[in-house]
Structure 1
Amino acid sequence: MPEAGALAPMVFFDRDGVLNEEVDYAFRIDQIVWVQGAFAAVRRLNQLGYRVVVVTNQSGVGRGFYTEEDVRILHVEMNRIMAENGARIDAFYYAPHHPQANVAAYRVDHEDRKPRPGMLLKAMQAFPTQMQRSFLIGDRMTDLEAAKAAGVAGFLFKGGDLDAFVGECLAAL
């Protein structure tokens, strides 16, 4: 793990469709099915000195399907399972907003909602980041647009073994 305050590269993972299988509005740990190679990918990045950060749009909060507390609890559980598998996620960022949200407080085109780069910029502000080696892995073009806007490389994950894909990303930098 990079020391606090140390300059380190960062990998941003979208959550649903990258670390875990896409399930509409997942908010409980029993809904999470990890993609093949997820633990190995995160463990590899940890061992290489990367900070690992999850950046995820969670419009289900704004739509009233679940709460921000549900998201926080899920992320604690996901990191617990990562730890049981020798891996660590350094931080989770989520955007509960959506321009057509049912819950008025979340009905906004917020800077954190991808394709805007707010979550990535907040993570880079919180952790000293070596930009040239940092990148994002997402499963949608909006993820890649957020990466570009934040000034980091973006890679489109179309499924398969996430650890093998991380290897390809590292080789391409």
Structure 2
Amino acid sequence: MSRPAIFLDRDGVLVEEIFYPRTGEREAPLAPEDVRLLPGVAPALRHLAAADYALVVISNQAGYAKGKASLRALWLAHERFVALLAEQDAKLDGCYYSYGHPDGIVPHFSGPSLDRKPGPYNVFIAAAQLDLDRQGSWMVGDRQTDVACAHAAGLRPILITSCGKASGHDGDLIRAPDLPSAAEIILKGRSRAA
């Protein structure tokens, strides 16, 4: 039987974005030593998993396409992320990354790609591979691309607002300052519906 999922953006929702002086930007961790979980993430994931939600990361990781990091460094950052969650007894059911970017400089990782948000491709792949019920699922992210992906995939979006990237004036959009608050909204809504 299919179960619902919480689809999660990674950077700015689960892990801190890092300021890199060489780029002058806050962005996804480009090395494993830069990966730090945001406060309250592991307990929030445990609560959602206990409510029988699958937990699936859907994330654009353009560091390689933009020439900022090797694929190996990005993979090691992913492994560190999973290890930090495991240290706090939290685990994910799947992680789906897009390594391309429309303005990338690395051949075969530059230009349009199906798996990059706001497109819903990785949501559809995850739902098929993990037998997920998209109708009862949510997307939690910190950018309008996450909201657009949620709408395209038939998910309910929650926009994380703490990092200042969340913009837009959709009055019906649910907003939360962080993942623990988003988890509370999701779980309260589920208990009311039961």
Q: Same fold (TM over 0.5)?
A: yes
| Residue in 2 that maps onto 1:46 | 49
Alpha-carbon distance in structure 1 between the residues aligned to 2:28 and 2:182: 25
Larger mean Cα displacement after TM superposition, 47-56 or 152-161: 152-161
Q: Which amino acid aligns with 2:43?
A: A
| Residue in 2 that maps onto 1:108 | 111
| Residue in 1 that maps onto 2:170 | none
Which runs of no fewer than 5 residues in structure 1 stay unpaired? 1-5
Residues 52-63 of structure 1: pairs in structure 2 closer than 5 A = 52-63=55-66
Q: Which amino acid aligns with 1:138?
A: G
Which runs of no fewer than 5 residues in structure 2 stay unpaired? 19-26, 163-176
Q: Which amino acid aligns with 1:51?
A: A
**8 Å CA contact retained: 1:18, 1:139:** yes
**8 Å CA contact retained: 1:14, 1:143:** yes
Q: Which has the higher helix share?
A: 1
Residues 104-143 of structure 1: pairs in structure 2 closer than 5 A = 104-143=107-146
Alpha-carbon distance in structure 2 between the residues aligned to 1:141 and 1:45: 23
Q: Does 1:19 align with 2:14?
A: yes
Alpha-carbon distance in structure 1 between the residues aligned to 2:103 and 2:150: 24
Larger radius of gyration, structure 1 or 2? 2
Alpha-carbon distance in structure 2 between the residues aligned to 1:27 and 1:87: 22
Secondary structure class of the residue paired with 1:171: helix
Displacement of 1:34: 1.6
Residues 2-17 of structure 1: pairs in structure 2 closer than 5 A = 6-17=1-12
Q: Alpha-carbon deviations, 1:60-96, whole Å to 9, x = none?
A: 1101212333222222221122111011111111111
Displacement of 1:103: 0.5
TM-score in terms of structure 2 length: 0.80
Displacement of 1:162: 2.0
Displacement of 1:26: 1.1
TM-score in terms of structure 1 length: 0.90
Alpha-carbon distance in structure 1 between the residues aligned to 2:82 and 2:36: 14
Secondary structure class of the residue paired with 1:59: coil
Alpha-carbon distance in structure 1 between the residues aligned to 2:6 and 2:72: 25
| Residue in 2 that maps onto 1:165 | 182
Aligned length: 168
